Structure 1
């Protein structure tokens, strides 16, 4: 179950070390929907027989699906509605399977009030193990 909370943190209140997170359990329907939206019908994601013969042993979720949870945090929590991505880098460390609960977390590493940019470390975990790591830069427009 997704844990949505809408918040908005003004740039002058954002501090290094602030954190926010979002968790969601990956379902078969999520993977099929993401395949339809993205056009990525790679059989390792959508074909159980094919995936059984892969190095993963069963179907895995698209990596960008889990990475998309960062967008939920940025757009809905910190900084919140109105912000836009400038950049995101990602390192995919482990697979995510159907029924895994992914917890995405962002931590503020730098705030540039003059350019209205906020920088974050980004991490996704499943059962306490990192599955994605990276960093992001977000722009906060003047309202």
Structure 2
């Protein structure tokens, strides 16, 4: 009887852990989806709240911090018009979540409309029960653009 109770307790803990992981996966994926929409809407205030003060952004044209990224979005120098997401994968390391997304990004950069295939790495850190973005990196893919415009 004691072994059955221990086994059932173990199974319950395993199921709760798996359920929590799935909920966390969905939370991060939704946060990423919201971020792409806020970028498309140029909603710099929501993005500024999401980005950690030490957040770093790696683009094809350079690397910079939160203040510059928010200013670039506000000014419209880079307008992230549409992110077509083909796949996502989330991994957790303690209070850190890393989301990889295969996307085609339609953006207006300096007045030019461009579409690029990227693997995007988003790093989120859980602090005070809130997820904050710590890193956003765009890695250009060698595959052709999939998005039909």
Same fold by TM-score, threshold 0.5 exceeded? no
Larger fraction in helix: 2
TM-score (norm. length: structure 1): 0.32
The structure with the larger Rg is: 2
